[in-house]
Amino acid sequence: MAIFSTIYLLMLLSTMLVLILGLALIDFKMLERKKYFIIISLGFIVTRILSILVLYNIAGISGTSDLNNVFGFQANEILQGNIPYIDFESHYSPYFPYLLSLPYLVISKPVSILSIFIFFDLLTLVVGGMYVFETWDLKSKYKFYWIYSFVPLTWPFISFWNQDEVISAFFLTLSMLLIYRNQEHKAAICMGVGFLVTKFLILVFFIPLFLMMKKPIRNGLLTSGLIFLGYLPFIALGADVLLPFTTEAGYHSVGSNLWVILEAFSVSFPWYLPHLVVIICIFSIVLVYITSNRLHHLSPEATIVLFSLVYMIAGKKSFSFYVPIFLVFIIILFMRLYTTFGNQKLVTLIFLTYIVSFSILYQSVVVLNQMQIQTLDWYLTLAIYSIAIISQIVLIWIIVRSQYRQPKFYYWRIDSWIQNRRESSHYRY
């Protein structure tokens, strides 16, 4: 079975070993800047570029169905002059196939598309490090670079599983950095562009970003307007721009969520119930943020992770490779909790459990209700699913209990907004 691929398990074990040894043996505070960046650069080249050359030229791997039948197909369709949603089906935002077509201009093979993913992976690494440096210190920036480079939820998902979520991760991370710098209009533009070149799913991860803005309504309109302008040419041509949403809505349950477990035991439920539960859960958290200070003690990265974990648990479709979208903030959260939470061993155990369980799970290949029930693989996969769900629940509990406070950081409150509007109106008249 693909989930237990020998090559992938070797990649998982080797990167975990390097990750743990580095954290245990390297003194990030005393390490010389030049030597450290040489090590990180070599690690990035080996894990991203060299691994792809070995896998696809020496090991003879041809790539996943996503790479060949989805990404490669869509890139080829664009180069032939075809239009998404009209001439071919796409579950992504309209400009994603155009982005994929760029490396096809040089090398007309699906594997060339991985260069796009590697490029955005590098950008995410750099921007994430900038955010850590500006909100923390240089030592923490170095430690972040090390964890991100070798955590087995980035390069294996790109090089072996050929997934694109790192593109969403870049726009999410850059938007957070811009918000922290008080450049909200730039963040709004970044979010609009990010939506147009990725997938509808990214909206879930943008919700907490708007909560952190001083002017979320104005910036929300800016993002929406940019998205509308991007879609306008396709609407004018009569394209079904809601095709990705309507197609995905009826998708079977998959991922580290309760719906998978229910389907595994043949428990039936209405197709719309999981979507309704997600909306209720996300709306409830938003309501808490905008009406009270109950969760305002959380750091920005903790807020993003909180929303992300709730979606992963409640959503009907929560692939393990969605984790790289908010992985930067998972890493930063772990680093902060390790220094502030009372039980460091518990934090480390939950973090490693989370990483390992999600690194092993690849739900587009193995879905419990497609397996022969009560076989060894079925029990083993069920156990991994359960561990992944439990680790997320415990992590949410740790986040909410966290005493870390982000100084001078702003969370939008609706009552404060109403009061400011009243004062502004009273001042004018």
295-348 pLDDT, tens per residue?
988 889 999 999 999 999 998 888 888 999 999 999 999 999 888 877 788 888
DSSP codes, 255-305? ESSHHHHHHHTT----TTHHHHHHHHHHHHHHHHHHH-STTTTS-HHHHHH
Residue among 229, 208, 425, 215 at smallest CA distance from 308 = 208
Contact 347, 341 (CB under 8 A): yes
- Which residue, among 425, 352, 360, has the nearest Cα to 395 in the 3D structure? 352
Instruction: Say if residues 371 and 381 touch (Cβ distance below 8 Å).
Output: yes
Share of the chain above pLDDT 70, in %: 92
* Percentage of the residues of the chain whose pLDDT score is greater than 90: 50
Rg (CA), the chain: 22
Query: CA separation (Å) from 51 to 35, 110, 185, 231, 355?
Result: 23, 16, 39, 37, 20
Write out pLDDT tens, residues 8-57.
Answer: 888 888 999 999 998 888 888 777 788 888 888 998 998 999 999 999 98
Query: pTM of the predicted model, to two decimals?
Result: 0.92
Burial 19-50 (b: 16+ CB within 10 A, else e): beebeeeeebeeeeeeebeebbeebbeebbee
Q: What would the pLDDT profile of 156-215 be if each residue is shown by its tens digit?
A: 899 999 999 999 999 999 999 999 999 999 999 999 999 999 988 899 999 999 999 999
The number of C-alpha atoms within 13 Å of 347 and in the hemisphere containing its C-beta is: 19
Which structural domain, as residue segments, surrounds residue 374? 2-428
317 beta partners: 254
**Domains in the chain, number:** 1
Q: Give the CB-side neighbour count of residue 153, counting CA atoms within 13 A.
A: 27
pLDDT at 320: 86
- At residue 3, the pLDDT reads 47
pLDDT of residue 372: 61
